[in-house]
Amino acid sequence: MDFYNEIKTKLIENENYSRIKDYSKERYKVQTYFEVGKILSEAGKQYGENIIGKYAEKLQVEIGKKYTERNLRYMRQFYTTFQDIKWKPVVSKLTWSHFLIIMPLKDQQKMQYYINRCIESHLSKRELINNIKDKEYERLDNKAKQKLIN
């Protein structure tokens, strides 16, 4: 399996798709990054962690400078973080920026809480950052947390 060409094809499709309507652009981007993260995860198991750096160098030359090693690592982290969650309905409601803010939280319940808050309240990324900074989740009692998560 040629992991690099598979990743390159997906990212080129994403670049082409990004010229289409705004509302579906972000959904396609998040889906693409999830799929690329899955491929990177599989490639890492087969070829080792250094493969991301090699792919990043080639992708930056062939597709664009935004496909840095750091961004490819975020894509892989996105896949590993959300691979077991029913995330497809969420994709159309959250942006890649929202996911980048939520991923470092680590605690699945806390992440789910903030995902739900974003969807229900249509939080911007700035509002999401402020809610996390203000420790909104931590200030809730356990009963309220469970109710909001479910």
d(CA 13, CA 63): 11
Q: Quick one: what percent of the chain has pLDDT higher than 70?
A: 86
Pick from 31, 35, 118: which is nearest to 110 by CA? Answer: 118
Q: Quick one: what percent of the chain has pLDDT higher than 90?
A: 37
Is the Cβ–Cβ distance between 93 and 119 less than 8 Å? yes
The mean pLDDT value for 9-17 works out to: 80
Q: Which residue has the tokens 């229900």?
A: 120
| Residue 87 pLDDT class (50, 70, 90 cuts) | low
Pick from 63, 66, 115: which is nearest to 93 by CA? Answer: 115
Pick from 103, 15, 4, 13: which is nearest to 53 by CA? Answer: 4
Say what the pLDDT of residue 21 is. Answer: 55
Pick from 70, 93, 88: which is nearest to 34 by CA? Answer: 88
